[in-house]
Amino acid sequence: MFEISTDKNKLDVSVIHQFLSQTYWAKGRTVAQVQTTINSCLCFGVYLNNEQIGFARVATDYAVFAYIMDVFILPEYRGKGYSKKLMEAVTTHKTLQECKVWMLKTKDAHGLYKQFGFTDLSHPEKLMEKLL
């Protein structure tokens, strides 16, 4: 049985942390930090036969802005359309429909996100960042 849920009680923090700790974007993130990000965001768990196989989270104010982060499907489950189902669930979630500005960062998944209307920045000169 395949399911996508926003119930944080179902999330397997150890699976999420283990995967994220090996990525280019979250290497070094502690279990406590992963838990803090979960507590602070709208989270989507992806489950196959009640086993967590994927995750995404959205930092949002539910009215104007939504920032998608930490999107993944475990490697052994890729190529079966689960990432598309996850992104569809995220972008159509009822609590995010008022948001007019959506953002994300990616190094290598542009093709996936373009299918859901994401494009290169139209005005990159307007954005700033502070990295620590």
Percentage of the chain exceeding pLDDT 70: 100
Residue 126 lies inside a defined structural domain of this protein: no
Residue 72 lies inside a defined structural domain of this protein: yes
Residue 130 lies inside a defined structural domain of this protein: no
**Which whole-number Å values give the CA distances from 98 to 28, 38, 62, in the listed order?**
34, 22, 7
Residue 50 lies inside a defined structural domain of this protein: yes
Count of domains observed in the chain: 1
Residue with tokens 């280019």: 24
Residue 27 lies inside a defined structural domain of this protein: yes
3-state secondary structure of 58: strand
Residue 52 lies inside a defined structural domain of this protein: yes
Those residues whose C-beta lies under 8 Å from the C-beta of residue 70, and which sit 6 or more positions away, are 16, 20, 25, 26, 37, 55, 56, 57
Helices (H), the chain: 13-20, 31-40, 82-91, 110-114
Instruction: Tell me the CATH number at 114.
Output: 3.40.630.30
pLDDT at residue 132 tops 90: no
Q: Model confidence over 80-111: pLDDT tens digits?
A: 999 999 999 999 999 999 999 999 999 999 99
Domain limits at 69? Answer: 2-118
Q: Model confidence over 19-42: pLDDT tens digits?
A: 999 999 999 999 999 999 999 999
Instruction: Give me the sign of the Cα torsion angle 73, 19, 4, 92.
Output: negative
